Amino acid sequence: MPEKAPDLPVFPYDAVGITSTIPIEVPLAAGLRVIDLNNVFVMSSDPGIFLRKAEAEGFPRNCCSWIRGIYGLIRTLEIRKVIFVTGGDCSNTQAMMEALVPFSEIFATFSYPYPPSPGALRQEMYRFCAGLGTTFSAAEGVSKSLHSVRRALGELDLLTWDGNRVTGKENHQWLVSSSDFGGDPVSFERRLKAFLDSARSRPVRPKGLRIGLVGVPPIITDLHEFVESLGAQVVYNEIPRQFSMPESCHDLVGGYLAYTYPYGAWPRLDDIRKQVDLRKLHGLIHYTQAFCHRQIHDMIFRHEIHVPILTLEGEIPGPCDPRTKLRIESFIEILKEKFG
């Protein structure tokens, strides 16, 4: 019997892939359709296909699955145009980009400055705009047009931690998708507003332990559901919330300076501490990715944050493994004993 062809996601021929969150206002101002490769990879029916493709081409197995998956996705779907984030995201992106030179077009690069400074970020945005054939003021115009969808994402987050009507998984999915607005901000906003209309009239969820999930977006597909099945609620998704640009700023530079993810542990720590207090969190789960340099941040967080923290490590896309489940169960039990 012939082998069944793998069920591959479709990548629109006119779209540009991104390797991480960028000032999306710039490519949108240039009339481009933008799709976050991380979302296509992890939401595909079999992300393992892309990992195997990367390994078959010689990609080191001790690189994290996100970066291997993006490489394998670009190669498998023959994605030609990619915007690579070469500073402030992943220390592996530049080498991955170099490996792709024979196969894909480096459509553009974007690098968040370190240390963060308004002048350096503005200069980088000017360079980015010029490279894509648009202007900073056109990008600022797009930024204003995105205020309404960003406000709606803020309401979704509020309905999670304050209104108690949106689940941790729903919160994660909507906020993580705001890195590219599903490739179409107008239809994304329409779908989001329809979701909010129904969520507002839902019954309030029963109260439970309040958990925050910090760290890079988990590659474990059922982490939120598993935590919530134990009577806890995930009411804070740190990095997905950052993707939605929650700090209202009057200008593009201010907005992307307030975005904590590219600027290291300390700006993130300020944000996490504020949210722990605001959302009255009982504990944090720090999700870390195997082979990720950001794992080093765990020791800073453990030293500086004074609520119980469970550190988890995931490696390949898929559901929670038994050991991870056991560790989460023990953590929730301890919190229940402590907080009643």
Binding site for ligand SF4 (CB under 6 A): 64, 66-67, 89-90, 92, 216, 289, 292, 294
Q: Is the dihedral of CA 175, 180, 186, 188 positive or negative?
A: negative
Distance in Å, CB of 204 to ligand SF4, minimum: 35
Determine the Cα–Cα distance for residues 64 and 290; give it in Å rounded to an integer.
6
Six token digits for residue 288: 């870390």
Select 42 or 77, whichever has its Cβ closest to ligand SF4.
42
95 to each of 8, 105, 279, 289, 334, how far by Cα in Å?
25, 15, 39, 19, 43
Termini Cα distance of the chain: 58
Six token digits for residue 227: 């935590």
Six token digits for residue 51: 């990992």
Determine the Cα–Cα distance for residues 261 and 243; give it in Å rounded to an integer.
8
Determine the Cα–Cα distance for residues 92 and 109; give it in Å rounded to an integer.
14
Distance in Å, CB of 293 to ligand SF4, minimum: 6
Determine the Cα–Cα distance for residues 96 and 74; give it in Å rounded to an integer.
11
Which DSSP letter does residue 218 get?
P
Distance in Å, CB of 20 to ligand SF4, minimum: 8
Distance in Å, CB of 69 to ligand SF4, minimum: 9
Select 216 or 285, whichever has its Cβ closest to ligand SF4.
216
Select 185 or 267, whichever has its Cβ closest to ligand SF4.
267
- Quick one: three-class SS letters along 165-193? CCCHHHHHHHHHHHHCHHHCHHHHHHHHH
Select 56 or 296, whichever has its Cβ closest to ligand SF4.
296
Distance in Å, CB of 157 to ligand SF4, minimum: 22
Select 160 or 289, whichever has its Cβ closest to ligand SF4.
289
Distance in Å, CB of 14 to ligand SF4, minimum: 26
Residue 282 near residue 209, CB atoms below 8 Å: yes
Select 129 or 216, whichever has its Cβ closest to ligand SF4.
216
Closest listed residue to residue 226, CA positions, set 183, 167, 182: 167
Distance in Å, CB of 91 to ligand SF4, minimum: 7
The Cβ of residue 145 has, within 10 Å, a number of other Cβ atoms equal to 13
Distance in Å, CB of 44 to ligand SF4, minimum: 17
Residue 301 near residue 272, CB atoms below 8 Å: yes
Select 66 or 181, whichever has its Cβ closest to ligand SF4.
66
Select 121 or 239, whichever has its Cβ closest to ligand SF4.
239
